[in-house]
Amino acid sequence: MRTISENRCFGGVQGVYAHKSDATDCEMTFGLFLPAEAEEEQVPVLWYLSGLTCTHENAMTKAGAQKWAAEAGIALVFPDTSPRGDGVADDPAYDLGKGAGFYVNATEAPWAPHYRMWDYITDDLPRVLFSAFPLAEDAQSITGHSMGGHGALTIAMSFPGRFRSVSAFAPIAHPTASDWGRKQLGAYLGPDAAKWAPHDATLLMRKRGFDGPVLVDQGGSDQFLDLLKPEALAEAMAASRQNGTFRIQKGYDHSYFFVSTFMESHVAFHADALLA
Amino acid sequence: MRTISENRCFGGVQGVYAHKSDATDCEMTFGLFLPAEAEEEQVPVLWYLSGLTCTHENAMTKAGAQKWAAEAGIALVFPDTSPRGDGVADDPAYDLGKGAGFYVNATEAPWAPHYRMWDYITDDLPRVLFSAFPLAEDAQSITGHSMGGHGALTIAMSFPGRFRSVSAFAPIAHPTASDWGRKQLGAYLGPDAAKWAPHDATLLMRKRGFDGPVLVDQGGSDQFLDLLKPEALAEAMAASRQNGTFRIQKGYDHSYFFVSTFMESHVAFHADALLA
């Protein structure tokens, strides 16, 4: 692992690091905010998964999360959204290939060799983080925005016991029924829709739900409402009697102005679970 | 004036607008955050002048100021840092030409036709703002980062009575004695150093000071300390018995991680003056 940058930030350190990933078979870059408490003890960790076109950097610079994480004494992890590098397959569209890994393990050509973001986020990166930094493996929560909200919800529900809480900002909530989903899941996993189901938050919510609290915020003026399908997830949460909160935030769109506005609330939600 | 974007943000609206500027003789873009209170009444306004290489966008997305401005009911203005467009002179260096207007009115070729950022910030943009938006002209304060800190300090001291308070993040504090200053002031204003003096915060502080409170934050691990020369301004503030505070923030560098960390404190400082 090599250090790309470290900046003092809200009394802690905002770092950027790169490492060779076995899962994606390429060098991966991630951001990690460590609060001041990490100088003396292990701290809880909140994962933030980013959306289409993002790298590790967008949320790190625009979501305004460090302030709240510093106050709570919680670390923040900002992974990249896909494999990277010259030898990695790509597509001209913004919503397939680089920047659009969709948090799955691809089985189809040309994606299979590197597009294994599910294993990267759930296995490879955790091993790096918990061996190299003072992070408490038994105090993890996860959140994300858009495609990253999809990733956060599907991963949280697939690893019972690992995350104490999950939240999402405007998640891609029902990808098997949306053009943000059918296109990518078809490309990465092939045409058999049965293989897509484990990567659909609404279907997972109907089937098993999450063993802790869930918080979802959705902007009421989001320009992508037709693709996100929040109503499907809201219905599934209520039907499953999920311990959780689903909020429509009137007037807000899909941007980081929306994310940053409600970040304090999300960090506080996770802090309640992580510091309990 | 045309609207480029408007996003709901912390209960208010983060807008981006473009207008033809008489001062710079080109189209200029600026960001304006209006808190919710602006729907019903005129609100105070805090100017934020940006640093080298920045546009109107950097602070708007990375400084985290909207949260604190929304809480205080204060508007934020984010101007661009230079004239723009195909017909505008430029230089290959990052610190001259576009993105590096230095908040002066150029008198020398090839800069004189468009590089009139002093007039743009002090005359042209205010006329647009106070005619088009519910902003209280008698409740203005100003801040900025690096080159923008230089601009904020020099403009505030040059217009007694206009701004109730001034602050700066890592300002270019003594440009007539620095390579961040001598190069640009020479290019824009010519070789006569007497013409540079009105654009040097340290010299202005020694000569007249500011008729209100001053707050300056400087990262102790800033990579540009030799160019910024904070010690000159600190000495001048103390020698002038300026009502003010100069702080070295240990371990912080020149980045927006530094700016965002101390933004809450700066907005609170200005709110004290603006809401008095």
Q: Is the peptide bond before A160 cis (omega within 30 degrees of 0)?
A: no
Q: Is B40 exposed, middle or buried (0-12, 13-18, 19+ CB in 10 A)?
A: exposed
Sign of CA dihedral B33, B180, B122, B197: positive
All domains in chain A, ordered by first residue? 2-274 (3.40.50.1820)
Q: Is B146 one of the annotated active-site residues of the chain? A: yes
Q: Given A7, A251, A264, which is nearest B8 (Cβ)?
A: A251
C-alpha B201/C-alpha B37 separation (Å) is 34
Which pLDDT belongs to residue B276? 87
Per-residue model confidence as pLDDT tens for chain B (276 residues): 999 999 999 999 999 999 999 999 999 999 999 999 999 999 999 999 999 999 999 999 999 999 999 999 999 999 999 999 999 999 999 999 999 999 999 999 999 999 999 999 999 999 999 999 999 999 999 999 999 999 999 999 999 999 999 999 999 999 999 999 999 999 999 999 999 999 999 999 999 999 999 999 999 999 999 999 999 999 999 989 999 999 999 999 999 999 999 999 999 999 999 998
A103-151, pLDDT tens digit by residue?
999 999 999 999 999 999 999 999 999 999 999 999 999 999 999 999 9
Residue type (1 letter), B150: H
- Asked if B260 and A11 come within 8 Å (Cβ–Cβ), the reply is no
Catalytic residue status for B222: yes
Which residue in the set A8, A252, A264 is minimally distant from B257, CB to CB?
A: A8
d(CA B199, nearest CA chain A) in Å: 31
Statement: the pTM of the whole predicted model exceeds 0.80 = yes
Which residues are bridge partners to A244 per DSSP?
A: A214
- A259 → chain B, closest CA residue: B9
Report the C-alpha gap between B135 and A237 in whole angstroms.
44
Mutation target among A4, A5, A6, A7 for the B interface, most CBs of B within 10 A: A7
Bridge partners for B13 per DSSP: B8, B34
A251 inside 8 A of chain B by CB = yes
- What is the average pLDDT value for chain A, to the nearest integer? 97
The ipTM is 0.81
Chain B residues lying within 8 Å of A253, measured CB to CB: 7-8
Spans of chain A below 50 pLDDT: none
- Catalytic residue (choose from A141, A167, A222, A270): A222
Interface test with A, best of B5, B8, B16 (most A CBs within 10 A): B8
Q: Please indicate whether, in this complex, the C-beta atoms of B261 and A64 are within 8 angstroms of each other.
A: no
Pairing mode, strands B43-49 and B12-21: unpaired
Residue A14 contacts B where some CB pair is shorter than 8 Å: yes
Q: Hey, are the CB atoms on B256 and A61 less than 8 Å from each other?
A: yes
Active-site residue among A146, A165, A167, A178? A146
Q: CB pairs below 8 Å between A and B: how many?
A: 65
Distance CA(B120)–CA(B25), nearest Å, equals: 10
pLDDT tens for each residue of A47-64? 999 999 999 999 999 999
Note whether A47 and A154 are within 8 A (CB).
no
- DSSP for residue B197: G
CA distance B244 to B241: 8
What's the rounded Cα separation, in Å, for the pair A64 and A260? 6
Task: Dump the DSSP string for A198-264.
Answer: GG-HHHHHHHT--SS-EEEEEETT-TTHHHH-HHHHHHHHHHTT-SEEEEEETT--SSHHHHHHHHH
A221 at B interface, C-beta within 8 A: yes
